Structure 1
Amino acid sequence: MGTQLKTKQSISTDDELPNEEKPDWTALPSELLGKIGDNLPLLELLCFRSTCKDWLTASSTASAECEYTTNRDPWFLLYDNAHCRLYQPSSKKVYTIHIPELDGATCIASKQGWLLVCRGSSMFFFCPFSHAQIDLPEFPHSDLSNHIAVFSSPPTSPDCVVCVIDHVDSTTIELHMLQRGANEWDRYTENYHMNTITGAMFSDGVFYFLDSKNLVLTFTIVNKEWEIYQIVDSDPSDKKPIPTLPFASSRVKYNDSSDMKLKLGLEEGDSLLTCGTVQPGYKSNICIHNEELKTEDNEKACHYKGVWIHPRFFQLPLNHSWSL
């Protein structure tokens, strides 16, 4: 199916090197090991950390930030339990990785290497490659299957704001907002008729929510004001066109890649619910939308979840929490 991230070291035979000439890699100074870890790409860093306890300790400050560049496509993480599959677009390779925190959970937002994950009413930020986790206050609802979320900045930033949005009914939108350090979610509702919300972005104090058709709903943090716009080619008098969006929009990213489906081992009838992300671009950021691939035979199909994520490796101090 794919390549295991946790690999065993190759072992030389006695015919290759005399015992006295075999290097003892565990005896390397911690300073040297730390420098090696700091300069490794993400996948190599994960293998490096799994070698032994000394190498794991030596890489305690590594970040693998070299993977995060403006012209690099996000990776795709497929999960249905703790055993996940990671697809790397540049190499078209699939790796298997064990992430117990995703068992029974759902990713509802992804940005700059951080996932916003919910399991019932529990919600937390999570970096799947380092297993760093930041718990949030309990969410008011336990069923978030139809919710979509977005956060303004990384959860380690003091100005991070989280928004989770959903339809209460066909004409009512419900939004919950949480600012860094807050202990409770603030709730806001407004009467708007929108289709399924598939994309969410943040720019200059404003959250943008895009539906499956051509509507854009905005929510401003400072004055808590809503606006709804329609994406149109011109400016007809009967419609309110949105001003120039501060980002680009990308839909149906998963469906475009049959090679990706094959490598992930998905059958034609399998269903998949994906979580989009924010892709840094040359001129502006790109909103990669959520996508749902349904199946006609719901009983026989396998049901998967997936998330687009940038390959980042974050480590947190032991006393780090959402509270400032």
Structure 2
Amino acid sequence: MESIYPDWTGLPQDLLAAIFVQLEIPDLFRSGAVCTSWHSAYCIFRRLRLPSPKQSPCLLYASDACGPEAATLYFPSTGATFRITMPDSRLHSLHSLSPIGSGHGWLVVADKISNLHLLNPLTGGHVALPPITTFQFVEGSLDDQGNLVYSFSGKSHEPYSLPAVEARDNMYERAVLSCSPSAGSACIVLLMHMPFRELSFARVGDQSWTRIQAGESTGLQWRNYHSDAAYSTADGLFYVVRSDGSMHTLDLNGPNPVATKIMPGAANNSDDPYKYLVQTPWGDLLQAWRFRDYFEPTESLVVPDNSNYVDPRVELNMTDLRLYKIDVHGQRLVKVDSVGDHSLFLGHNVSMCLPVKDFPGLKPNCAYLTDDFFEFINFYKFNKREVGMWSIAAQTMDSSLGSTSPLRDPWLNWPVPIWITPSLF
């Protein structure tokens, strides 16, 4: 007797390719594992670099539940989770990496000896960035026990040395990409680093980092204290914001970096909120000011038995989020009370503002947040991380991220979870 069920394994490959184009990336991966013929069509789809639909941002995190060689993607638009195996054995696992940026589906991560890499966690794409010893003020050597240490020098601070495994916790603030690293040397990595959140950059393929010096030659101030950056494809410039709210454009297209001041700083704010730059779909550039404060922990800490735990038992939680439209011509910031039917994504990732009509599961007028406070996440590694959805209207945090089902896997305290927009390129 013939089966009454259709034989989906016999679908033509061109039809399967047309279906694959419409799928979210987790569903695309699952489809490639259905059977031999579907896997063959999936391989052709990947080889032809066919486009996939707009992908919803997801939270990438490590957890004990997914094992040491894997990570989990959580999609707040659907509440779904998707386990991935970290594909590059040279970098071991997400548990051993410190993420400091993401964009275009790629992570910027620091490894165990504090060198930076670009990693696509879905495809296994990997690009090694120039080593830490190519910064002008860093030198590497071996101590008496043969361990790698880095020496840091400079006019602005006394020289000091750190073990290689500790340098990344003291060195890297965040990184921003101009485009996908798959574009080769067109991809620029702009890095904010210590001391004083200064700026350096490297193109894919460069052998060393180029420090963007402060002074008359660039227009940047000493002790930069940069908070965030955004790259504009419209004019090919980076936009950078300092902790006082002042802004510069940064042109890295010529032989020498050129900075142009476009916004003065605001009056000193004793609360010192962290400032993000957010490009909106309607053409505005926003500053998002994130206020935080320390609180007594609401849950007990889980600390490994072999840990020499000395961190204070505190939580760093958000208390307010204020949005300002940047009026360059008027040289002022204009208070914004809502992003309407859009969602913000803030953290170590390239800041995003997305229409919920493209991702119906997202909540409008909300900010999806991860922890990114430099000192807290690097030095208080067993303390609870703040990950959640902030209602801009109600000024409240929902730690469930507004999902329709509870999260199955608790994320680890370190490395810190990070937003990515999945990409196969």
1:149 Cα offset (Å) = 1.1
Corresponding residue number in structure 1 for 2:32: 49
1:139 Cα offset (Å) = 2.3
Instruction: List per-residue Cα deviations over 1:50-76 (Å, max 9, x = no partner).
Output: 3244323311325563124xxx6x332
Does 2:241 match 1:210?
A: yes
Does 2:287 match 1:249?
A: yes
Does 2:211 match 1:187?
A: yes
Does 2:230 match 1:201?
A: yes
1:5-154 equivalence runs, <5 A: 20-60=3-43, 61-62=45-46, 65-68=52-55, 74-79=57-62, 82-91=69-78, 93-100=79-86, 101=88, 102-119=94-111, 120-129=113-122, 131-141=123-133, 143-145=167-169, 146-154=172-180
Task: Tell me if the contact between 1:38 and 1:59 (Cα under 8 Å) persists in the aligned partners.
Answer: no
Task: Tell me if the contact between 1:249 and 1:289 (Cα under 8 Å) persists in the aligned partners.
Answer: no
User: What's the TM-score, normalizing by structure 1?
Assistant: 0.63
1:20 Cα offset (Å) = 4.4
CA distance in 1, matches of 2:236, 2:3: 64
Comparing both chains, which one has the higher relative contact order based on Cα–Cα distances under 8 Å and sequence gaps of 6 or more?
1
Does 2:182 match 1:156?
A: yes
Q: 1:108 to 1:54 in 2, by over 3 A?
A: farther
Aligned residues between the structures: 260
SS in structure 2 of the partner of residue 149 of structure 1: strand
Corresponding residue number in structure 2 for 1:279: 352
SS in structure 2 of the partner of residue 65 of structure 1: coil
SS in structure 2 of the partner of residue 232 of structure 1: coil
CA distance in 2, matches of 1:300, 1:137: 30
SS in structure 1 of the partner of residue 26 of structure 2: helix
Instruction: List per-residue Cα deviations over 1:18-59 (Å, max 9, x = no partner).
Output: 664454443443333333222222232121123244323311
Corresponding residue number in structure 2 for 1:176: 200
Q: 1:55 to 1:213 in 2, by over 3 A?
A: farther
Gap runs ≥5 in structure 2: 89-93, 134-163, 215-220, 268-278, 294-312, 318-345, 356-366, 385-411
Which of residues 308, 311, 319 is equivalent to 2:419? 308
Q: 1:214 to 1:98 in 2, by over 3 A?
A: same
1:226-265 equivalence runs, <5 A: 226=259, 230-232=264-266, 247-252=285-290
CA distance in 2, matches of 1:251, 1:96: 32
Instruction: List per-residue Cα deviations over 1:272-307 (Å, max 9, x = no partner).
Output: 99412242568xxx9x89723949986575513121
Instruction: List per-residue Cα deviations over 1:210-241 (Å, max 9, x = no partner).
Output: 345534455331341345654438xxxxxxxx
CA distance in 2, matches of 1:36, 1:254: 45
Gap runs ≥5 in structure 1: 1-17, 234-244, 256-267, 315-324
1:166 Cα offset (Å) = 0.8
CA distance in 2, matches of 1:152, 1:297: 31
Q: Please, what is the CA RMSD of the aligned residues? A: 4.1
CA distance in 2, matches of 1:149, 1:23: 50
Task: Tell me if the contact between 1:167 and 1:174 (Cα under 8 Å) persists in the aligned partners.
Answer: yes
User: What's the TM-score, normalizing by structure 2?
Assistant: 0.50
